[in-house]
Amino acid sequence: MTSINPSTERLIKRGDGWQIGWDSGASEFCGLVGTDRWAFELTRSELDDFCRLVQQLAETLRAIAAELMDEERIACEAETETLWLEAEGFPDRYTLHLILHTGRRCEAHWDEIAARELTVAARTISVFSSAV
């Protein structure tokens, strides 16, 4: 589900076990990530890093898929000054684990279904957040 409020330039995408959002009117914490049970806000740089790293990990998993045996699991991680992100599982089915390094020092985890949908949604959110 996607909801857009044109007066505040707010976009929130939600699915089963995940959510991600962008609010251009927010003074410090313009991003949001979470599940349907919890969420925490992110600064613009944290959200940008999250969206970029989610895409990089998904691309890395796709790139090495041919090198793995069918039953072989893999863990890939990426890190910036603001956060650490890990994708663990199979190239087409993986979980995501996030640790936020800055300020609030939050930790998050998404299961395989939520991670797949969140990866797609992060691509859309990064387009909106980069445009502002």
Counting DSSP H helices and E strands in the chain, the numbers are 2, 9
In this prediction, residue 132 carries a pLDDT of 45
What are the structural domains, with CATH classification, of the chain? 2-131 (2.30.31.10)
pLDDT at 70: 78
**Mean pLDDT for back-to-back runs of 10 residues, the chain (132 residues):** 58 96 92 95 95 95 83 90 95 93 91 96 73 47
Confidence (pLDDT) at 87: 96
- Check residue 115 and give its pLDDT: 97
Other C-beta atoms lying within 10 Å of the C-beta of residue 42:
30
Q: How many CB atoms lie within 10 A of CB 26?
A: 17
